[in-house]
Chain A
């Protein structure tokens, strides 16, 4: 271990892209070497500078784009299909696709390959999620069929697989939402948990994420996950606080949308407060519009 090792890897280290072992070595050396410590801090500072130029779309753009897409889709559906597309549709409907015949053979080949790969890669064991220890979570990926893959490091990487409703998988996802320093991983975990917000522990973490996560994108995803529960008291209270306190106008606008989905009278006070205090014109105009739809006054008398 020397300074060259750090110099060659510092770029990947600051992005969290080194494996556990290399990260341990680098941190161990940087803790005792002033030069390498300064090098790491310099790279971190550069990334903080780059944060200065991150921009978010104007709040109105999303709804404009959605409306335009709906118009484009309905125009596309009214257009007659070309003769090539009609032939393709006819072929798909009537001729059984030839790859079906190859599927059994391909299946056997994949099985043989998996068996071979399984023998070669002893370190990446696929284990039952029930055996999940407290480990460092490296990546979380939804496989699209209700299953999840989680790569853990302890300190070697290994893979666990399990269904979303398994307690240990859920625990790992909740830990990732609350503790991961990587906003991408937090986002992915929030998405995977979105259909489980009826569970008390998931709901609690989701509400905390909505109000406290550093990343507006993660807060936005938590907000989307809570959409089906926007009529319930704890969610409504959190949304009201978000509308009045969140630093991001996109998040505040989405909070308004959810609050007015099923508007009870008590939201009027929150909207009036937002009109008085919000610095963003668009957020204030949305509040005003909603109050006028509810036939309520924009001011407090």
Chain B
């Protein structure tokens, strides 16, 4: 069954078709939410809310855009709300849960690559602090555009569509984010 037929079946109340639709996209949704929010609990909250909204409003989906775009509009709006709340609360933290218990994600990323090289490990610690500063310095919108372009590999045109804005606005966001990265990390490269 192709995607359009699966969507129509789900709109007609076929639970299995809805489940199929979820399984096509849910890994991407979870990855986006997790990389942005850095917390299993918050990523799961976004996942639940997004797919419950999709389920509730699926009958209103009229194929005016791709299902991916429609779903991502819901997900990115939810993620932006969460990022904004985080920013206001200033609760941004870098601890994430792993199968081995809570860990600092930046330590983890650095350790994975530097554990055999003490010199690199030292460098990675300083680098980690800088990158942490860069991510905290992004506005929620800059963070979202950078995430979608760099980590998710989406084109600026699609990012603009998903965020309900123009390609030009998404381009400006990416431009500002890059400038911030360069001023913070330029002396590392």
Contact = CB atoms under 8 A, between A and B. Distances in A.
Interface of A: 11-12, 14-15, 17, 41-43, 45-47, 49-50, 52-62, 64-66, 68-70, 72-73, 76, 92, 139, 141-146, 182-187, 191, 195, 215, 217, 220, 224, 250, 280-282
Given A46-B186, A57-B40, A185-B153, A52 B127 contact: yes
Nearest to A140: B155
B156 A42 contact: no
B160 to A, nearest CB: 11
Interface residues of B, number: 72
Interface in B2-24: 2-4, 7, 15, 18-19, 22-24
B91 to A, nearest CB: 18
Nearest to B153: A184
A280 B23 CA distance: 24
A281 B151 CA distance: 26
A73 B52 contact: yes
Given A49-B188, A57-B31, A62-B26, A12 B150 contact: no
* Majority-rule SS of B interface residues: helix
Contacts of B30: 57, 61-62, 65
A238 B52 CA distance: 35
B93 interface: no
A15 B131 contact: no
Nearest to B96: A55
A64 B44 contact: yes
A184 B63 CA distance: 22
B150 A143 contact: no
A56 B30 CA distance: 9
Which residue among A14, A60, A142 has the maximum number of chain B CB atoms within 10 Å of its CB? A142
A185 B153 CA distance: 8
A83 to B, nearest CB: 16
A42 B100 CA distance: 36
19 contacts: A15-B156, A47-B150, A49-B188, A50-B181, A55-B35, A56-B34, A58-B98, A64-B44, A65-B26, A65-B44, A76-B55, A144-B66, A145-B4, A184-B152, A184-B155, A217-B28, A217-B152, A224-B24, A280-B99
B51 interface: yes
Contacts of A64: 44
Given A12-B175, A54-B35, A182-B153, 11 more contacts: A42-B182, A45-B188, A49-B188, A52-B124, A55-B38, A58-B99, A68-B48, A69-B51, A183-B153, A217-B28, A220-B27
